[in-house]
Amino acid sequence: MMLKMLNGDEAMAYGAFHSGVKLVSGYPGSPSSGTVDTLIELARKHNIYVEWSSNEKVAMELAIGASIAGRRALVCVKSVGMNVMVDPLMTLNLTPVNGGLVILLGDDPGGYGSQNDQDTRPLASMLEIPMMEPSTPGEGYAMIKEAFQISEQYHTAMIIRETRGFTLHMEEIQMAESTDHKSGLDIAREPWRFVPVPRNAVEKHRELHQRISAIGSWVNGASFNQIIGKGMKGVLAAGYTYQKLLDVLGDEPANDLCLLKLSSIFPLPVDVIKKFLTDCSEILVFEENEPYLETHIKAIAHDIESRCKIYGKQSNHVNREGELFRWQIQESLNRFIPEIGLTSHYIKENEQNELPQRESRCGDCHYFEILDILDEAGKELNQKPVLIGDPGCLVTVADRLDAKFAIGSAVGVANGISITGINERSVALFGDSSFFHTSLPGICNAVHNRSDILMIVLDNGAAVTSGCQPNPGSGKNAMGHDSPVLSIEGIARACGIRHVYQADFGRSDLELKELFLEALTHRRLTLLIIKIE
């Protein structure tokens, strides 16, 4: 065993490595990219395959294949990336996995690097895939190792949820010096095991419920869920929120306070929660984003006819939107237990100290100048183009956009606006990574239905916003090795776009303006590729 100081990202990476993971896939996005970055370094010396996939759905399907072959696989995505993976996950849950398969899901309460303030926990119960959430990097290291074992034991994928605060938290961790899972399983080739169809869907769903029930028995005894202390007043906190709660309570929590540290999000440890409800007369639930746990715990209380009063977001005792800060936890505790006498001093005015440092990689972005030139061209033609952007590159000029939704959606949204017959030209703006991610189906649809939109792609050869990770047009893979360069222009022409222009941003503003004038003058489907070195 050895001691090593690690943050949450690194702890999850080492936990997967020491579990014998053989395949790691993902799509860049924070939080979760840091774990892939660490595994890339480990893969340089060990037999691990790591790739940045073209999108999250592809990353998931790659991991499914590795699991069928009997190898342990890890998929790393952020909240909105999980949305992209739902389609294969809704059938993966029906097919008992072979090699351990773990999904590391990074939620972003507060939307520090996301276009929304999404809580992904409710997806676990919809997908019927177990979800757990660690409170510290040390627990995360142990949890991901156990998740691989549970995945193989119960033949189910496992989701481990983390938040940005968790990934930044540093802790000295005692861990193994080498992997403890050297060999994989044989490939699983059983009739119908991985083939859900209408004739077996209901039976497979029934078997899924049996697996979930068995895991429900396991979580009741899992060490990750603990009742600590005794008292009629109870406080429940899940995942990294529990660590924040401990920071507020200090080294010596009140003796008459009962705490429930919850790490099993789905299925819930029902027996543990029932005991907690029975022991307490009132409880306060701390969780980030939606009242997911609060709602489910109230349902459990109803079933056992508990008289315990349950407070949280729904009772306005806890803030509902954004990250839950320590000063908010302290205020909620002081209202819940006025006599608690907290000695820590977290105040709203110092909230900035709890915020993650924003690392901007967009300082050299040229969309400002590009939109200025486009605006000038529009004015000359007496046009005011409707600008629809994608997340990522467009974040720097978001105030100048008419709309921006999910990655890959700019083309479809712009096309929908154009179909209405408005006079103004509809323009879709997106980056090269977005082109390969999910813009292509929208482009094919636009060609097929004779759209007249203008598409502008900023090609800087990487996923710059999330850390300059490579994409299929970069010429490098995740390991830094040479790989084929997919041509955006060639793919666009193969899709049937007749009007494709390519320009280097190094050209004079006048030359770029002439291209914009030409593209805006005719009402035909057009793609303008602007290369940025």
**Beta carbons within 10 angstroms of residue 58's beta carbon:** 18
What integer is the mean pLDDT of 283-309? 97
- Pick 134 or 365 by higher pLDDT: 134
CATH number at residue 326: 3.40.50.920
Q: What is the pTM of this model?
A: 0.93
Which residue did the predictor score with more confidence, 116 or 211? 211
Query: Is residue 34 one of the residues assigned to a domain?
Result: yes
Rounded Cα distance, 380 and 376, in Å: 6
pLDDT for 463: 64
> Confidence class of residue 277 from pLDDT cuts 50, 70 and 90?
very high
Determine the Cα–Cα distance for residues 387 and 403; give it in Å rounded to an integer.
7
Q: Identify the pLDDT of residue 142.
A: 97
User: Is residue 361, in this structure, part of any structural domain at all?
Assistant: no
Dump pLDDT digits (tens) for 30-46.
888 999 999 999 999 99
Residue 191 lies in a domain: yes
By mean pLDDT, which of 103-107, 203-207, 390-394, 481-485 is the weakest? 390-394
Please say which residue of 195, 221, 247 terminates a domain. 221
Range of the structural domain that residue 452 is part of: 367-531
Determine, yes or no, domain membership for 502.
yes
Q: Is residue 183 pLDDT above 80, yes or no? A: no
pLDDT reported for residue 253: 63
In this structure, are 179 and 235 located in the same domain?
no
In total, the chain counts a number of residues equal to 533
pLDDT for residue 394 is more than 70: no
Maximum CA pair distance of the chain?
Answer: 75
| Mean pLDDT for the stretch of residues 62-72 | 97
DSSP string for 236-305: EEETHHHHHHHHHH-SS--TTEEEEEE-EEES--HHHHHHHHHH-SEEEEE-SSS-HHHHHHHHHHHHTT
What's the pLDDT band for 341 if we cut at 50, 70, 90?
confident
Q: Strand 499-504 and strand 526-531: pairing?
A: parallel
Task: Looking at the structure, tell me whether residues 337 and 375 fall in a common domain.
Answer: no
Q: Let me know whether 442 and 306 are in one domain.
A: no
Q: Is the pLDDT of residue 366 over 80?
A: no
- In a domain, residue 359? The reply is no
CATH number, position 374: 3.40.50.970
The string of DSSP letters for 423-439 reads: SSPEEEEEEHHHIIIII
Same domain as 310, residue 197: no
Give me the mean pLDDT over the 278-302 stretch. Answer: 97
Question: Residue 113's pLDDT band (boundaries 50, 70, 90)?
Answer: confident
Confidence of residue 359 (pLDDT cuts 50, 70, 90): low
Q: How far apart are the first and last CA of the chain?
A: 46
Please tell me whether residue 322 adopts helix, strand or coil conformation. coil
Q: Is the pLDDT of residue 361 over 60?
A: no
Is residue 21 domain-shared with residue 136, that is, in the same domain? yes
Residues 78 and 215 occupy one common structural domain: yes
**Is 122 inside any structural domain?**
yes
In this structure, the answer to whether residues 146 and 238 fall within a common structural domain is no
- pLDDT tens digits for range 116-156: 889 999 999 999 999 999 999 999 999 999 999 999 999 99
Domain presence at residue 471: yes
Separation CA 57–CA 82 (nearest Å): 9
Question: Do residue 216 and residue 231 come from a single domain?
Answer: no
Among residues 354, 381, 396, which one ends one of the domains?
Answer: 354
Please say which residue of 163, 189, 221 terminates a domain: 221
Domains in the chain: how many in total? Answer: 3
Distance CA 99, CA 21 (A): 10
